[in-house]
């Protein structure tokens, strides 16, 4: 458990009231070192700042070492579910680029966590997951409980969607495997790893010196650079392009930012589609034509993809009624891929998508490769008469299209302004009006891209990337908020109602650890994505669309999210159906967040047409 109920996380440190200080200072330290102390030594050696966990007796030895030998530094955060522990670490890494530890209890705790682990794998989030098993020494196992909580190679449960897992057989194997796990986790493609420690090993006395990694050893490999010949060929192709397009997916992962993507786009005058797995490009940049496929890809003759996960998702449009897709990129366009497309693919989940048949491909980190490519392009532009003028002209033309799109989206958002419940577009505008002068950070979901259409995403850190699957957003949002604690930034979570219903207990953690954040409920009282699918099926089959809500709605009774939040220690207000009432409620909530408290405003929206493209 946590060392004291009065301990609070402040930044990367632990703060206690006077009573707790006296209690901790009076604790008798053990005169004996234990093997679990070596794990703590490695945690400190690699500079981890936070640990999220749900308690479990299988790692009681490690827990004691963290609290007493390690003096709760890095501080532990008690989580209400193992999945949430993993998701907090996911959100923390997604925003900061720094890995965080999540500890899960033996076999049963590990089986609570796979949803969080799987999405961390898909989202390329470096999460250092620790677990425990055993004791593997059979005579030390308690009847029944230690047997059902142990597995024959425990990592097998998640092996297909972690980058690596390992279970050291002795204390001497801990430092080497820990260091390897860290390097594997942080090297591209990044992703979660799992280390499993035998309970008996943890609790055994340390009776000899254990060899630690040498002080000068690097923690991970340098990123891969592109083949020079392939890079030169790409530069030649792009310099000759008439209408180049850049598609960026994980290109601007933290802490690198988007400078390399912006620079190559401006050098080339290329239209940009930001897939929003990470924030790769400023939202109001005149070359940004994201969310407008016809305008972005129309007439494209060269497409440069930077660290994409699935080339079809950003370049094809889908017909959900027929499950068919249609490419928006003209036939005959040349595709150039820089990234990790076919590396670290799962042997179990088909997250690798359809095979990407690009004419030119480079296995390289775009953070390294893109500036090199930009330099080659600048040389070719300088050496080619009239090319700079051509690039300036297409930049100006794209800027006009960009401005027209933004004006059209604003006009659409202002339609049905007084409707109750309010439209999603109006809610996005009301929130923007209250945060636009703040140093704000959006945690994940964008309300079906209405925030992206109407807000100005003008700083690399203001958005860690779009939403993932249902049952993921509140956990990752807490991780983003934790990463921003102490910065003075206003952290906003546009929180879907169905997602919060999965993990409502997670609200308690923000209050307990005084993590300031603002939740604005994106509440349509439904799992509407699936409801919409049922409407499509009903229309195809000639059945009654009015019955599509059965098994989908979240009303009768309507969840009281404000009441729920208050019961967990939050300031909260709502439900609010009228857009006229949103602004004043947000002002009150933001005032609370600026005092270091979490606040929730429950806003209820229309169902139905979610965006101009649906």
* Domain contains 123: yes
Q: Tokens 């249609």 sit at which residue?
A: 326
Which residue, of 338, 368, 398, is where some domain finishes?
Answer: 398
- What's the pLDDT at 290? 97
* Domain contains 436: yes
Rounded to an integer, the average pLDDT of 382-399 is 97
Whether residues 152 and 95 fall in one domain? yes
- In tens, the pLDDT along 450-491 reads 999 999 999 999 999 999 988 999 999 999 999 999 999 999
Rounded to an integer, the average pLDDT of 360-368 is 95
**40 alpha carbon, distance to own chain's centre:** 26
Whether residues 502 and 357 fall in one domain? no
- In tens, the pLDDT along 166-219 reads 999 999 999 999 999 999 999 989 999 999 999 999 999 999 999 999 988 889
Rounded to an integer, the average pLDDT of 554-578 is 94
Q: Which residues contact 54 (CB under 8 A, 6 or more apart)?
A: 78, 79, 80, 81, 82, 84, 85, 103, 104, 105, 109, 112
H or E stretch covering 491: strand 490-496
Is residue 8's pLDDT more than 70?
A: no
Rounded to an integer, the average pLDDT of 381-402 is 97
- What's the pLDDT at 150? 85
* 571, 415 contact by CB (below 8 A): no
* Domain contains 43: yes
Residues spanned by the domain of 586: 414-604
Distance CA 83, CA 112 (A): 6
* 296, 273 contact by CB (below 8 A): yes
Tell me the average pLDDT of the chain: 91
Whether residues 131 and 273 fall in one domain? no
* Domain contains 423: yes
The β-bridge partners of 132 are 197
- What's the pLDDT at 16? 43
DSSP state letters, 147-174: HHT--SSGGGGTGGGSSEEE--SSTTHH
- What's the pLDDT at 609? 55
Rounded to an integer, the average pLDDT of 264-269 is 98
- What's the pLDDT at 27? 67
Percent of the chain with pLDDT over 90: 78
Can you give the length of the chain in residues? 614
H or E stretch covering 19: helix 18-25
Task: Say how many domains are in the chain.
Answer: 3
Whether residues 130 and 19 fall in one domain? yes
Whether residues 569 and 453 fall in one domain? yes
Nearest to 246, CA basis, from 225, 222, 266, 221 = 266
End-to-end CA distance of the chain: 48
- Token pair for 360: 């030119």
* Domain contains 1: no
How far is residue 182 from each of residues 87, 106, 515, measured CA to CA in Å? 18, 21, 27
Which residue, of 398, 422, 450, is where some domain finishes?
Answer: 398
Is residue 10's pLDDT more than 60?
A: no
Rounded to an integer, the average pLDDT of 480-507 is 96
Contacts 24+ apart (CB under 8 A), 7-12: 7/72, 7/75, 8/512, 8/513, 8/514, 9/50, 9/75, 9/77, 9/482, 9/485, 9/513, 9/514, 9/515, 10/485, 10/486, 10/514, 11/485, 11/486, 12/49, 12/50, 12/74, 12/75
Position with higher pLDDT, 613 vs 397: 397
Rounded to an integer, the average pLDDT of 336-361 is 89
- What's the pLDDT at 26? 61
- What's the pLDDT at 1? 28
Q: Which residues contact 259 (CB under 8 A, 6 or more apart)?
A: 460
Query: Angle at which helices 82-96 and 114-122 pack, to 10 degrees?
Result: 20
Cis peptide before 189 (omega within 30 of 0): yes
Q: Which residues contact 596 (CB under 8 A, 6 or more apart)?
A: 514, 516
H or E stretch covering 305: strand 302-306
Provide the pLDDT confidence category of residue 323 given band limits of 50, 70 and 90: confident
Distance CA 403, CA 453 (A): 11
Whether residues 437 and 354 fall in one domain? no
Nearest to 588, CA basis, from 605, 577, 606, 574 = 574
Which residue, of 343, 374, 398, is where some domain finishes?
Answer: 398
Nearest to 517, CA basis, from 547, 557, 474 = 474
* Domain contains 599: yes
For residue 316, the SS3 value is strand
CATH code at position 271: 3.40.50.1220
* 599, 571 contact by CB (below 8 A): yes
Whether residues 487 and 344 fall in one domain? no
- In tens, the pLDDT along 105-150 reads 998 999 999 999 999 999 999 999 999 998 888 888 889 888 888 8
How far is residue 406 from each of residues 279, 300, 450, measured CA to CA in Å? 18, 21, 11
Whether residues 393 and 455 fall in one domain? no
* Domain contains 458: yes
- What's the pLDDT at 18? 40
Whether residues 142 and 53 fall in one domain? yes
Ranges 41-50, 309-318, 377-386, 511-520: which has the least confidence: 309-318
Whether residues 311 and 189 fall in one domain? no
* Domain contains 610: no
Which one-letter DSSP state was computed for residue 368?
H
H or E stretch covering 588: helix 582-594
How far is residue 504 from each of residues 452, 498, 507, 559, measured CA to CA in Å? 26, 10, 6, 11
Whether residues 199 and 300 fall in one domain? no
Is residue 15's pLDDT more than 50?
A: no
- What's the pLDDT at 322? 85
Whether residues 236 and 347 fall in one domain? yes
- In a 10 Å sphere around its CB, with 0-12 CB exposed, 13-18 middle and 19+ buried, how is residue 301 labelled? middle
- In tens, the pLDDT along 60-97 reads 999 999 999 999 999 999 999 999 999 999 999 999 99
- Token pair for 143: 């009847």
* 337, 358 contact by CB (below 8 A): yes
CATH code at position 511: 3.40.50.970
Percent of the chain with pLDDT over 70: 94
**339 alpha carbon, distance to own chain's centre:** 19
């Amino acid at each position: 458990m946590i060392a004291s109920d009065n301990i609070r996380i402040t930044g990367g440190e632990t703060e206690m009231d006077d009573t707790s200080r006296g209690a901790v200072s009076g604790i008798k330290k053990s005169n004996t070192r234990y093997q679990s102390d070596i794990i703590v030594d490695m945690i400190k050696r690699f500079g981890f700042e936070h640990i999220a966990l749900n308690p479990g007796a299988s790692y009681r030895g490690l827990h004691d070492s963290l609290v007493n030998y390690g003096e709760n530094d890095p501080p532990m955060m008690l989580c209400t579910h193992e999945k949430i522990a993993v998701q907090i670490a996911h959100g923390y890494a997604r925003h900061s680029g720094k890995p965080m530890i999540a500890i899960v209890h033996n076999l049963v705790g590990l089986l609570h966590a796979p949803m969080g682990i799987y999405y961390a794998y898909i989202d390329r989030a470096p999460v250092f997951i620790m677990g425990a098993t055993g004791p593997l020494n059979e005579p030390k196992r308690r009847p029944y409980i230690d047997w059902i909580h142990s597995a024959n190679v425990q990592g097998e449960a998640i092996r297909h969607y972690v980058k690596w897992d390992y279970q050291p057989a002795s204390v001497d194997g801990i430092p080497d495997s820990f260091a390897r796990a860290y390097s594997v986790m942080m090297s591209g493609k990044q992703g979660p790893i799992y280390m499993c420690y035998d309970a008996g090993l943890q609790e055994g006395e340390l009776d000899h010196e254990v060899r630690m990694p040498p002080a000068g050893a690097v923690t991970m490999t340098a990123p891969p650079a592109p083949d020079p010949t392939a890079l030169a060929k790409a530069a030649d192709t792009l310099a000759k392009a008439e209408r180049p397009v850049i598609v960026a997916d994980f290109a601007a992962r933290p802490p690198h930012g988007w400078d390399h993507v912006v620079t190559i786009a401006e050098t080339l005058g290329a239209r940009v589609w930001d897939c929003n797995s990470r924030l790769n490009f400023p939202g109001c940049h005149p070359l940004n034509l994201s969310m407008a496929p016809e305008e972005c890809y129309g007439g494209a003759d060269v497409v440069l993809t930077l660290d994409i996960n699935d080339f079809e998702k950003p370049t094809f449009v889908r017909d959900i009624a027929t499950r068919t897709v249609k490419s928006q990129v003209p036939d005959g366009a040349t595709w150039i891929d820089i990234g990790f497309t076919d590396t670290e693919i799962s042997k179990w989940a088909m997250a690798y998508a359809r095979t990407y048949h690009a004419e030119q491909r480079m296995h390289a980190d775009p953070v390294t490769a893109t500036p090199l490519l930009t330099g080659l392009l600048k040389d070719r532009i300088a050496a080619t008469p009239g090319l700079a003028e051509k690039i300036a002209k297409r930049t100006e033309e794209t800027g006009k299209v960009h401005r027209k799109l933004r004006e059209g989206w604003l006009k659409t958002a202002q339609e049905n302004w007084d409707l109750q419940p309010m439209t999603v577009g109006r809610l996005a505008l009301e929130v923007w009006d209250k945060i636009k002068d703040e140093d704000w950070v959006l945690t994940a979901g964008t309300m079906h891209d209405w925030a992206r259409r109407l807000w100005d995403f003008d700083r690399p850190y203001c958005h860690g990337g779009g939403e993932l699957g249902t049952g993921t957003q509140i956990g990752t949002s807490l991780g983003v908020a934790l990463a921003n604690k102490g910065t003075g930034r206003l952290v906003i979570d546009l929180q879907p109602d169905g997602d919060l219903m999965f993990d409502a207990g997670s609200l308690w953690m923000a209050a307990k650890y005084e993590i300031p954040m603002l939740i604005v409920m994106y509440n349509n009282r439904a799992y509407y994505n699936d409801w919409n699918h049922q409407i499509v099926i009903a229309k195809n089959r000639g059945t009654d669309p009015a019955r599509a809500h059965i098994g989908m709605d979240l009303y009768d009774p309507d969840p009281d999210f404000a009441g729920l939040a208050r019961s967990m220690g939050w300031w909260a207000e709502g439900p609010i159906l009228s857009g006229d009432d949103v602004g004043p409620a947000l002002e009150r909530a933001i005032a609370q967040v600026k005092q270091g408290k979490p606040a929730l405003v429950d806003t209820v929206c229309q169902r139905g047409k979610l965006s101009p493209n649906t």
